[in-house]
């Protein structure tokens, strides 16, 4: 079955995963980004691939487990370099009671988790950590982190090699429909107009604006986060981790990324990004003292792309023929699985059961 011409609006991790899968299925794809591919939220993410933090609803947990599996398959298909880091995840807390209760439930459902002591962690995994020897630490061996910008670069390169077209630095300004309301054209900020049969809204935090071009109200939640990069002459950590008050991960050969929900909560108090970065750096050096020697290189406040109920909005919107959404938080974890399922739905019309709870039409109900 041919889908006709598909315009993917937004080339972050979601748009790149949808576009790559569409190109593999032989669809006629054009990838459009207002900036550079992978330079949106995808470049300012903690980028932890996990399902252990997604236990609020069974179907959401299952989708995230499928997300981890899809990353492994993707690494098999395109190679792991330089984006896939399946190095597991470490997690500990000042009061570990809740973390350990959850870990026990996860272990009972077959999700792999090990309990270590601080001394073991320093010996086996992370010698640079300042961890009390007896501190209990959870190790999730099947979790990972992803270099989002590099992943997008790989997928876009492969999609273009397979025949997709890339238009970067141009924004979608209008979406035209025909008499029966079906998508027909997209108008771009450079004055051009493209004939299309399908559009995929993968515009991340700008997704509500793209939906609005079609008269659709797509409610999104505001939840900004602040991410900081340290410039390191030598990266002293080897995996992503949640320590008390701070999350840390490597970011390639010369950088470490810092994030904390506690610091995110200060964004609306009016503190400058530089001050938020200083607070993140202070927390990080308590966990990895040598990080105190490395300067803050970048700090950015970004909006998470979160539909109002907190869950993904993925699939066809039946009230607008030819219009699909691919909008979610946890998009690093979910990109590869959502890209595969959505591309198959566009090309074959088959709706996968894994997406049953995450259909866009739930926002149409009064
Ligand atoms: C602080 C923070 C921590 C996070 N931690 C994690 C984590 O640990 N694990 C995890 O799985 N997820 C995490 N996330 C979420 C994850 O990063 C996002 O869900 C994911 O990156 C979203 O990707 P995207 O492709 O939807 O959006 P983006 O990467 O923002 O891509 C959207 C693209 O659309 C383009 N665009 C916008 N408007 C237009 C237009 N009109 N025309 C053309 N193009 C347009 C933009 O230029 C942009 O490139 C985190 C997010 C934040 C902010």
Q: Enumerate the domain spans of the chain.
A: 5-46+148-221+307-364, 89-141, 224-303
Please tell me the distance between residue 206's alpha carbon and the centre of ligand 1 in angstroms.
9
The gap between the terminal CA atoms of the chain, to the nearest Å, is 34
How far apart CA 177 and CA 318 sit, in angstroms, is 14
307 lines ligand 1 (CB under 6 A): no
Chain length of the chain: 366
Q: What is the pLDDT of residue 3?
A: 80
Q: What is the pLDDT of residue 234?
A: 96
325 lines ligand 1 (CB under 6 A): no
DSSP string, 45-82: S--EE-STT--SSHHHHHHHHHHHHHHHHHHHHH-STT
34 lines ligand 1 (CB under 6 A): yes
Q: Tens digit of pLDDT per residue, the chain (366 long)?
A: 568 999 999 999 999 999 999 999 999 999 999 999 999 999 999 999 999 999 999 999 999 999 999 999 999 999 999 999 999 999 999 999 999 999 999 999 999 999 999 999 999 999 999 999 999 999 999 999 999 999 999 999 999 999 999 999 999 999 999 999 999 999 999 999 999 999 999 999 999 999 999 999 999 999 999 999 999 999 999 999 999 999 999 999 999 999 999 999 999 999 999 999 999 999 999 999 999 999 999 999 999 999 999 999 999 999 999 999 999 999 999 999 999 999 999 999 999 999 999 999 999 866
The residue among 52, 60, 218 whose CA lies nearest residue 142 is 52
Q: What is the pLDDT of residue 366?
A: 60
How far apart CA 256 and CA 249 sit, in angstroms, is 6
How far apart CA 103 and CA 96 sit, in angstroms, is 10
Please tell me the distance between residue 141's alpha carbon and the centre of ligand 1 in angstroms.
26
What's the whole-model pTM score? 0.98
Q: What is the pLDDT of residue 269?
A: 96
The residue among 120, 48, 52 whose CA lies nearest residue 85 is 48
Q: Which CATH number fits domain 5-46+148-221+307-364: 3.50.50.60, 1.10.10.520, 3.40.30.10, 3.20.10.10?
A: 3.50.50.60
Please tell me the distance between residue 134's alpha carbon and the centre of ligand 1 in angstroms.
38
Question: Which phi-psi region, left, alpha or beta, contains residue 159 (left: φ > 0; alpha: ψ -120 to 50)?
Answer: alpha
Q: What is the pLDDT of residue 1?
A: 55
Please tell me the distance between residue 302's alpha carbon and the centre of ligand 1 in angstroms.
9
Alpha helices in 254-350 (DSSP H): 261-264, 273-287, 331-348
Q: What is the pLDDT of residue 54?
A: 97
113 lines ligand 1 (CB under 6 A): no
């Amino acid at each position: 079955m041919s889908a006709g011409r598909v315009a993917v609006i937004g080339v972050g991790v979601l748009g790149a995963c949808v576009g790559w899968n569409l190109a593999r299925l032989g669809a006629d794809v054009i990838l459009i980004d207002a900036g550079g591919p992978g330079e949106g939220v995808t470049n300012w993410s903690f980028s932890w691939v996990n399902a252990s933090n997604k236990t609020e609803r069974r179907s959401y947990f299952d989708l995230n487990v499928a997300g981890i599996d899809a990353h492994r398959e993707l690494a098999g298909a395109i190679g792991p370099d330089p984006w896939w880091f399946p190095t597991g995840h470490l997690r500990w807390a000042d009061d570990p009671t809740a973390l350990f209760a959850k870990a026990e439930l996860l272990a009972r459902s077959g999700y792999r988790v090990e309990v270590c002591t601080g001394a073991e962690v320093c010996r086996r995994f992370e010698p640079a950590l300042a961890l009390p020897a007896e501190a209990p630490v959870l190790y999730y061996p099947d979790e990972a982190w992803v270099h989002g910008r590099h992943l997008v670069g790989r997928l876009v390169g492969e999609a273009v090699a397979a025949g997709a077209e890339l238009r970067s630095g141009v924004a979608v300004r209008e979406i035209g429909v025909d008499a029966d309301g079906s998508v027909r054209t997209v108008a771009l900020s450079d004055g051009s107009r493209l004939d299309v049969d399908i559009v995929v809204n993968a515009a991340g935090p700008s997704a509500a604006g793209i939906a609005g071009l079609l008269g659709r109200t797509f409610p999104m939640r505001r939840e900004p986060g602040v991410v900081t990069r340290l410039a390191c002459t030598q990266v002293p950590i080897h995996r992503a981790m949640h320590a008390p008050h701070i999350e840390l991960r490597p970011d390639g050969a010369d950088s470490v990324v810092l994030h904390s929900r506690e610091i995110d909560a200060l964004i609306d108090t009016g503190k400058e990004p530089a001050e938020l970065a200083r607070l993140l750096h202070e927390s990080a050096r308590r966990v990895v003292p040598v990080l105190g020697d490395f300067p803050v290189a970048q700090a950015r406040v970004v909006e998470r792309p979160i539909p109002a109920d907190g869950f993904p909005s993925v699939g066809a919107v039946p009230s607008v023929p030819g219009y699909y959404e691919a909008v979610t938080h946890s998009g690093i974890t979910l990109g590869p699985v959502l890209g595969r399922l959505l591309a198959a739905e566009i090309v074959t019309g088959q709706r996968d059961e894994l997406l049953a709870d995450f259909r866009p039409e739930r926002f149409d109900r009064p």
